[in-house]
């Protein structure tokens, strides 16, 4: 099997914007993009299969197993100047060269459908929990960053330090070679947990940029649930810290 696109429907969109949200740090991209699939009632129109994705099938709720894949959804937005292509999926490539190959397939879809702009969504791991995560951005040479800056997106050299890894980064770099404007929006996140709060914040900026209204209520609810889980974990940790320490004698018996 070669990496290939399996079209389910003809795609016929008006000045489409492509938004990528594959699994990554804090699953920010995955949460945001899958939320958009739901809220925009997008339709699945293609799938990408690749031998660089894990050699697995996933068992769905009806007991039907399906190959690990990347999914392409499309939504025609009435009264909006742009339609939307959404890229979501189970995994990214597990091999170095596979990242390039899969990103090129996504770009094939972009060029075939005359995509105007690419938005990729990712997380920026800080190692710390924060109630007020910042949104960092990066652009390629064809995307003017000014409007993003006006909306509070920060641009800083070496953010993230190790570069933007995987499809979210390569779509900017390889997209640049094809002269497609592309930007990556990264929500700060601890890096330890799935982070719907940060995903929600990225999504708010994205909805302003695309001039579409997106109800983020479900993400908000998931963020609140997650916050509860985290605050319980914190509390338990603090309680453990306050417990009396074992004395030397105790220590002996622990062996």
Q: Which of 5, 44, 80, 94 binds its own copies (CB under 8 A)?
A: 94
Task: List, as own/partner pairs, every contact residues 246-249 make where C-beta atoms lie below 8 angstroms and the sequence separation is at least 24, other chains included.
Answer: none
- Told to check if 248 binds its own copies by CB under 8 A, we report yes
Q: Which of 8, 57, 229, 233 binds its own copies (CB under 8 A)?
A: 57
Stretch binding its own copies (CB under 8 A), from 71-79, 132-140, 214-222, 224-232? 132-140
- Told to check if 242 binds its own copies by CB under 8 A, we report no
Q: Which of 10, 60, 240, 242 binds its own copies (CB under 8 A)?
A: 60
Q: Which of 12, 155, 234, 235 binds its own copies (CB under 8 A)?
A: 155
Instruction: State the minimum distance, in angstroms, from the CB of residue 165 to its own copies.
Output: 5
Stretch binding its own copies (CB under 8 A), from 17-25, 63-71, 76-84, 218-226? 63-71
Q: Are 119 and 206 in contact (CB under 8 A)?
A: yes
- Told to check if 144 binds its own copies by CB under 8 A, we report no
Q: Which of 164, 185, 199, 203 binds its own copies (CB under 8 A)?
A: 164
Stretch binding its own copies (CB under 8 A), from 70-78, 135-143, 196-204, 210-218? 135-143
Report residue 59 as tokens: 């068992």
CA 148 to chain centre: 18
What sign has the CA pseudo-torsion 99, 179, 168, 39? negative
Stretch binding its own copies (CB under 8 A), from 28-36, 56-64, 70-78, 226-234? 56-64
Q: Are 201 and 135 in contact (CB under 8 A)?
A: yes
- Told to check if 8 binds its own copies by CB under 8 A, we report no
Q: Are 89 and 98 in contact (CB under 8 A)?
A: no
Radius of gyration (Cα) for the chain, nearest Å? Answer: 21
DSSP state of 103: H
Q: Which of 68, 193, 194, 209 binds its own copies (CB under 8 A)?
A: 68
Report residue 220 as tokens: 């908000």
Q: Which of 63, 127, 237, 241 binds its own copies (CB under 8 A)?
A: 63
| Cis previous bond, 122, omega within 30 | no
Give the C-alpha separation, 169 to 189, whole Å. Answer: 18
CA distances from 88 to 48, 58, 64, 133, 195 (A): 10, 15, 20, 23, 17
- Told to check if 146 binds its own copies by CB under 8 A, we report no
| Residue written as token pair 């939307």 | 84
Give the C-alpha separation, 169 to 190, whole Å. Answer: 20
Give residues in contact with its own copies (CB under 8 A).
1, 51-52, 54-68, 93-97, 99-101, 103-104, 137-141, 145, 155-160, 162-166, 169-170, 172-174, 176, 184, 245-253, 255
């Amino acid at each position: 099997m070669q990496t290939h696109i399996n079209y389910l429907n003809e795609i016929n969109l008006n000045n489409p914007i492509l938004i990528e949200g594959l699994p990554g740090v804090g699953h920010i991209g995955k949460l945001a993009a899958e939320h958009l699939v739901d809220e925009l009632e997008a339709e699945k129109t293609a799938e990408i299969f690749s031998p660089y994705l894990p050699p697995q099938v996933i068992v769905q709720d009806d007991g039907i197993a399906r190959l690990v894949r990347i999914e392409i959804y499309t939504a025609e937005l009435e009264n909006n100047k742009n339609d939307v292509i959404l890229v979501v999926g189970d995994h990214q490539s597990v091999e170095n060269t596979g990242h390039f190959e899969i990103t090129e397939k996504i770009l094939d879809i972009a060029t075939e459908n005359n995509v105007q702009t690419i938005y990729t969504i990712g997380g920026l791991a800080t190692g710390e929990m924060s109630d007020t995560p910042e949104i960092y951005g990066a652009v390629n040479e064809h995307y003017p960053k000014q409007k993003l800056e006006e909306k509070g997106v920060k641009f800083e050299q070496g953010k993230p330090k190790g570069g933007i890894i995987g499809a979210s980064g390569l779509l900017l770099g390889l997209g640049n070679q094809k002269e497609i404007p592309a930007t990556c929006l990264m929500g700060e996140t601890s890096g330890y947990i799935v982070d719907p709060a940060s995903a929600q914040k990225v999504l708010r900026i994205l909805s302003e940029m695309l001039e579409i209204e997106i109800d983020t209520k479900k993400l908000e609810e998931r963020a609140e649930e997650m916050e509860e889980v985290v605050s319980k974990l914190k509390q338990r940790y603090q309680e453990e810290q306050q417990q009396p320490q074992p004395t030397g004698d105790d220590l002996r018996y622990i062996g």
